[in-house]
Homo-oligomer: A and B are copies of this chain.
């Protein structure tokens, strides 16, 4: 089971690492992190660099293709024809093509979500309609073989769904136990539809600040 995770400068790490930590436990799993250019790729916080071993010319097939999101860089990826063409090509033969957070904007820009329901981070989900996708505020949306997950941490839930579909309930339960995923969030503030207005405003401020502090230069 070849899981291909597309990384790019400015990626949000948990979008990628949450599903990775689940999917690495699939039977015979091989996880390939791939980027437009291999080598060091900096995350959106500037505090992390991952060493990516494959560039997109080296990966032509994925059983599972995963596109993580980012704070703002997704908009640049969504204009990068070379990357969008690669995503399209690999997605044609994938078993599942999945995204986390604003990764769905990238899938949509690649034309993969046309007239499909999709979710995204709550702060920019409406943007999906500009790429002919149907924004749907759910934690996980499946439309055919495409699964999109909401913001950042939703990738963990999505990946467990994916294991359940591919290997069945017992495997999914065992992996959920291996990562001790018995969440106990301190507050009930993780959902846009129930969060208080002042919490939504502060959350937006924190994301804007993170964006302002992000430095992707070498």
Contact = CB atoms under 8 A, between A and B. Distances in A.
Contacts of A25: 206, 210
A94 to B, nearest CB: 18
A198 B170 contact: yes
Contact of A139 (B17, B51, B182, B195): B182
- Chain A interface size, as a band, is 35 or more
A10 B176 CA distance: 20
A191 B181 CA distance: 7
Contacts of A183: 153, 156-157, 181, 183, 185, 190
Given A49-B51, A51-B40, A151-B179, A186 B207 contact: no
A185 B187 contact: no
A181 B185 contact: yes
A190 B203 contact: no
A177 B156 contact: no
A14 B31 CA distance: 15
A31 to B, nearest CB: 4
A151 B121 CA distance: 26
Interface in A30-72: 30-33, 40, 45, 47-51, 53
Contacts of A32: 47
Given A25-B206, A202-B171, A180 B150 contact: yes
Contacts of A174: 189, 199, 202-203, 205-206
A171 B176 CA distance: 29
A13 interface: yes
A12 interface: yes
Interface of A: 12-14, 17-18, 20-21, 24-25, 30-33, 40, 45, 47-51, 53, 101, 121-122, 139-140, 150-154, 156-157, 160-161, 164, 169-187, 189-192, 195-196, 198-200, 202-203, 205-207, 210
